[in-house]
A and B are shown apart, each in its own frame.
Chain A
Amino acid sequence: MPTDFWRKSKVAVIGGGSWGTVLAQLVSVNCNDVRIWVREEERARSINSQRMNPDYVQELRLNPHVKAYVELERVLDGGVDGVIWALPSKATRAESRRIARLMSGTEFLWHATKGIEEGSLKRMTEVLREELPIRRIGVISGPNLATEIARGEPAATVVASDFQEVIRAGQELLNTPKFRVYSSTDVVGIEWAGTLKNILAIASGALDGMGLGWNARSMLISRGLAEMVRFGVAMGGQEGTFLGLAGVGDLLATCSSPLSRNYRVGSGLAKGQTLARILEELGSTAEGVQTARIVAHHARERNIYMPITQAVDTLLSGGVTVQSLMSSLMARPPMPDRALS
């Protein structure tokens, strides 16, 4: 591959939320032609003229070679070499159907969506593979709070794919002096880790809403991690992945930062707000809400022991207080401190 191939390539970012915008900015450091697809005319105008996407990331001034469009046709005009997928999991199947006809087959795609398809329990790489005329798909996942990266603080992430060339290209496109990109071949583990931690972020927010301290939060994080490992391994992921950036790394970031949307859902619920109200205030997707319901359901069916996840699911369906859930979790019989039996 010519060494400057990605420098001269064209990359499309599908989704102009906070993470999509920041990813576009990161890629623009290594690539001269970045197009970002946004839904609203107004947002496109704001990106193209003011170099800003103020509704999602206030601090960020976008590089001049990031261009925003509302038409998918224009984003993919003339063919692109890379696609970064940054849409919510709920929108992924429908939008990928729209984009399928616009692709040539040479594209590499990385998705940055931390969620799972309801009903089918399919991971995003599976959904995208089913809908798009490409195979070379990867995933980007890690402790990446968009606002912090937008401010230029150091951070790291993991790119995983079955294809080494997709991993290498992802590293080439995303690596910057402030952003380190690690590699993994455990696509299943990476995707499940990123998905499952959102449930625990809600729980962590709830603890915070109750005004609890670090002991309680550490208990949640480590026992929560055990649940993630249990479920992730049952789905075919590797245990070690959950000890990495996309596992415990992401878990620590989302469970500790009030910036995380899922965290805000939890703390709102603990303070007695209704879910509908919280989501309305957030104005963007909190993947954990949907994920908790899906995972709790499948864990019950498959007999995977996930008490915290079940509690979060109960909390989200309303009618119980965080306090009572906490007491019943604490009242369970003593058990060994292990993830896998």
Chain B
Amino acid sequence: MPSNSKLSTASHPAIRFEQVPIVEGSLHRMNELRSSVLSGVKRQTLKDFENGKLDLLLGEALYAEKSRLKHEKATLFTRHRKATDQEVWAQIQSGLLSPAAVVDRRKLLSQVISHYGDEIGGHFDPRVYWFATRSVPWFFSWLLNAASVQRFLPWGMTQSLESRLTILGEVPALQKLAQKGTVLLVPTHQSNIDSVLIGYIIYLMRLPPFAYGAGLNLFSNPILNFFMGNLGAYTVDRRKTNPIYKQTLKHYSAELLERNIHSIFFPGGGRSRSGAIESRLKLGLLGTGLDAQLANLKSGRPNPNVYVVPMVMSYHFVLEAGSLIEDYLVDAGKHRFLKSRDESSQLSQVAGFFWKLFSSQTGITVRVGRALDIFGNFVDDEGRSIGPNGTQIDPRAWLTSGGELKADQQRDQEYTRELGDKISERFHRENTVLTSHLVAFSFFETLRRRYPDLDLFRFLRLSLPQRSIPWPEFLEQAERDHSRLRQMADRGQLYLSNDLLNRTTEEWVRDGIRHLGLMHEAEVVRTDGSAVWTEDMTLLYYYRNRLTGYGISLLADSFDKDSARMLAGRERARDFDANGFLA
């Protein structure tokens, strides 16, 4: 049964951060392990291309890398990296121009893999960790105090403290499983804030630090570079799509998991652009969980199991909502949607986010989901895979083919695909609906009902008077949607926040309106007591999308399906690339 245990008040950052001892984890041995990880990566990746046509493989990678380097503008901080890249690829080029008898192609490949491995490889410095874990809560509580004093009287403080960061769900199970095997944490991904927040949540849960992949672009900032580089982050460069890079990255992640280093992947790839909970996942990195467990089983290591733990983050507002939804609409609508803004996430905006977070009595809700095995079966507290009808699944048996424990690429991809489906299903079920989500959804749907014949893109361009509805009509719809969600919550299909569970319709609606997209310049939903309107249709659409995928929208789902179909064709092709590797 999914438990609803909330972390005690004592676990809140402002109260607890000084009392927590450093938890030693495998990541602390990262620096000792680094060379063995990298040589493992090299060995495994070379093996993948054992029978390939190396000239072709290297030639294609060289072509792609040269064109990437040509278009890349180096900054002060990335100049060095670019120069090294150019040097390496120039060597590869001259190598490829010599006959294979003179320059061994395997040597060239091995040089490329080492180069990528060095770029990807993370570090870990316990001193930096010590500093960061103490300064982050300090920073948080500084913001908290500085911000709240302005707006609230001191006696409001205790209550607001608790409402900021709510960690729900299977925390004790996760803590237990982290001792029994390797944890692969798979959170939903909406915002660049996620990485920082998750790192902090892990710390709050008294878990050892986790390794995680972060976009190479984030490492361009020298401050972030210093912290992330020393906190177990390894780099992921989405621009590099050649098979050598992809396999190197996969093996890097698998090698970490094999060494019992807990890791975080965002299985949706990047941030959710539509605002919806991820339903199509990137299976490539996810599959490294299975690879690692299989390797562990074969070599007879203790604690061989990898546990996949979904985690769902619920925000009232997402810093980058505007640019994310525009990207999404441009992609789905092509010529039908005209892009109007291009915002980027500056450091000042990140600070602004935290300022708003702490000054507005708003909060972030995080739910740790039930743990899964690498096939998507539930796992009990003891780390055993649960099968149907009271059976227990032996992962070894599922990885045995023809009487032998071994890898089988197609079989393992299929298992991973099913794991992906399960994670996406769990994301929806472990989601905590906040007041603002339901306000956005109900308002959008009520409005949509008035213009059933417009396509989405025309609908999003309604004029201001057209996007206003009477307050009572809106309240009525909100109440109906609420009771529907309540039934779904009773059936375990999602969770409702305490505000949605305990407050009257008028109260939660007003709370939702107040919190919805608080960070944006335009107010997403406004009311003057007699009418409700929106100042920004695309933002409204973004926040409303949080409740898609549940089959509760009558009218609007028809165009959800349209845009989903448009995207699906492309995304499906992306599951596997031409070389049969999971993308």
Q: Do A and B bind each other?
A: yes
Residues on A facing B (Cβ under 8 Å): 1-2, 5, 81, 97, 100-101, 103-106, 130-136, 162-165
User: B394 to A131, Cβ gap below 8 A?
Assistant: no
Residues of chain B with a CB closer than 8 A to A5's CB: 402-403
User: B411 to A103, Cβ gap below 8 A?
Assistant: no
User: A100 to B411, Cβ gap below 8 A?
Assistant: no
Residues of chain A with a CB closer than 8 A to B415's CB: 135
Asked if B302 is at the interface (CB within 8 A of a chain A CB), the reply is no
Chain B's closest residue to A130 (CB) is B388
Residues of chain A with a CB closer than 8 A to B388's CB: 100, 130-133
Residues of chain B with a CB closer than 8 A to A103's CB: 391
Chain A's closest residue to B397 (CB) is A105
Q: Residue A106 contacts which of B387, B389, B391, B397 (CB distance < 8 angstroms)?
A: B397
Q: How distant is the Cα of A163 from the Cα of B398 in the complex, in angstroms?
A: 12
Residues of chain B with a CB closer than 8 A to A163's CB: 410-411, 414
Contact pattern, B 406-437, Cβ under 8 Å of A = 1, otherwise 0 = 00101100110010000000000000000000
Query: Chain A binding site: helix, strand, loop or mixed by DSSP?
Result: loop
User: B389 to A100, Cβ gap below 8 A?
Assistant: yes
Known: A135-B375, A135-B418, A165-B410. A100 touches B400 (CB 8 A): no
B390, B404, B410, B414 interface centre (most CB from chain A within 10 Å): B414
User: A105 to B398, Cβ gap below 8 A?
Assistant: yes
Residues of chain B with a CB closer than 8 A to A106's CB: 397-398, 400, 403
Q: How distant is the Cα of A97 from the Cα of B388 in the complex, in angstroms?
A: 8
Q: Residue A104 contacts which of B389, B397, B402 (CB distance < 8 angstroms)?
A: B397
A81, A106, A130 interface centre (most CB from chain B within 10 Å): A106
User: B401 to A105, Cβ gap below 8 A?
Assistant: no
Q: Residue B393 contacts which of A105, A136, A162 (CB distance < 8 angstroms)?
A: A105
Given A100-B387, A106-B403, 14 more pairs with CB closer than 8 A:
A5-B403, A100-B389, A100-B391, A101-B390, A101-B391, A105-B393, A105-B394, A105-B398, A132-B389, A133-B387, A135-B415, A136-B411, A162-B414, A165-B402
Q: How distant is the Cα of A130 from the Cα of B393 in the complex, in angstroms?
A: 13
* Complex interface residues of chain B between 349 and 407 (CB less than 8 A to chain A): 375, 387-394, 397-398, 400-404
Q: Could you show 26 A-B contacts with beta carbons less than 8 Å apart?
A: A1-B404, A2-B402, A5-B402, A5-B403, A81-B403, A100-B387, A100-B389, A100-B390, A100-B391, A101-B391, A103-B391, A104-B394, A105-B394, A130-B388, A131-B388, A133-B389, A133-B391, A133-B392, A133-B393, A135-B414, A163-B411, A163-B414, A164-B410, A164-B411, A165-B401, A165-B411
Chain A's closest residue to B400 (CB) is A106
Q: How distant is the Cα of A189 from the Cα of B411 in the complex, in angstroms?
A: 21
Q: How distant is the Cα of A134 from the Cα of B377 in the complex, in angstroms?
A: 11
Residues of chain B with a CB closer than 8 A to A105's CB: 387, 393-394, 397-398
List 5 tightest A-B contacts by C-beta distance, closest first.
A1-B402, A105-B397, A133-B387, A100-B389, A133-B391
Q: How many whole Å from A236's CB to the nearest CB in chain B?
A: 13
Residues of chain B with a CB closer than 8 A to A164's CB: 410-411
Residues of chain B with a CB closer than 8 A to A165's CB: 401-402, 408, 410-411
Q: How distant is the Cα of A5 from the Cα of B408 in the complex, in angstroms?
A: 16
Q: How distant is the Cα of A165 from the Cα of B392 in the complex, in angstroms?
A: 23
Q: How many whole Å from A44's CB to the nearest CB in chain B?
A: 26
Chain B's closest residue to A108 (CB) is B401
Chain B's closest residue to A1 (CB) is B402
User: A1 to B397, Cβ gap below 8 A?
Assistant: no
Q: How distant is the Cα of A162 from the Cα of B391 in the complex, in angstroms?
A: 23
Q: Residue B389 contacts which of A2, A97, A162 (CB distance < 8 angstroms)?
A: A97
Q: How distant is the Cα of A131 from the Cα of B404 in the complex, in angstroms?
A: 25
User: B414 to A2, Cβ gap below 8 A?
Assistant: no
User: A2 to B391, Cβ gap below 8 A?
Assistant: no
Q: How many whole Å from B116's CB to the nearest CB in chain A?
A: 30
Q: How distant is the Cα of A106 from the Cα of B397 in the complex, in angstroms?
A: 5
B390, B400, B402, B418 interface centre (most CB from chain A within 10 Å): B402
User: A135 to B398, Cβ gap below 8 A?
Assistant: yes
User: A131 to B389, Cβ gap below 8 A?
Assistant: yes
Residues of chain A with a CB closer than 8 A to B393's CB: 105, 133
* Complex interface residues of chain B between 297 and 330 (CB less than 8 A to chain A): none
Residues of chain A with a CB closer than 8 A to B408's CB: 165
Q: How distant is the Cα of A136 from the Cα of B410 in the complex, in angstroms?
A: 12
* Complex interface residues of chain B between 191 and 241 (CB less than 8 A to chain A): none
Q: How distant is the Cα of A134 from the Cα of B401 in the complex, in angstroms?
A: 13
Chain A's closest residue to B401 (CB) is A165
User: A1 to B418, Cβ gap below 8 A?
Assistant: no
Q: How many whole Å from B376's CB to the nearest CB in chain A?
A: 9
Chain A's closest residue to B376 (CB) is A135
Q: How distant is the Cα of A83 from the Cα of B387 in the complex, in angstroms?
A: 18
Q: How many whole Å from A60's CB to the nearest CB in chain B?
A: 30
Q: Residue A101 contacts which of B389, B394, B404, B410 (CB distance < 8 angstroms)?
A: B389
Q: How distant is the Cα of A105 from the Cα of B397 in the complex, in angstroms?
A: 5
Residues of chain A with a CB closer than 8 A to B397's CB: 104-106
Q: How distant is the Cα of A132 from the Cα of B393 in the complex, in angstroms?
A: 10
User: B401 to A1, Cβ gap below 8 A?
Assistant: yes
Q: How many whole Å from A147's CB to the nearest CB in chain B?
A: 34
Q: How distant is the Cα of A105 from the Cα of B403 in the complex, in angstroms?
A: 12
Q: How distant is the Cα of A97 from the Cα of B393 in the complex, in angstroms?
A: 15
Residues of chain A with a CB closer than 8 A to B400's CB: 106
Q: How distant is the Cα of A134 from the Cα of B400 in the complex, in angstroms?
A: 12
Q: How many whole Å from A72's CB to the nearest CB in chain B?
A: 13
Q: How distant is the Cα of A103 from the Cα of B397 in the complex, in angstroms?
A: 10
Chain B's closest residue to A81 (CB) is B403
Contact pattern, B 449-471, Cβ under 8 Å of A = 1, otherwise 0 = 00000000000000000000000
Residues of chain B with a CB closer than 8 A to A1's CB: 401-404
Residues of chain A with a CB closer than 8 A to B375's CB: 135
Residues of chain A with a CB closer than 8 A to B394's CB: 104-105
Chain B's closest residue to A105 (CB) is B397
Chain A's closest residue to B387 (CB) is A133
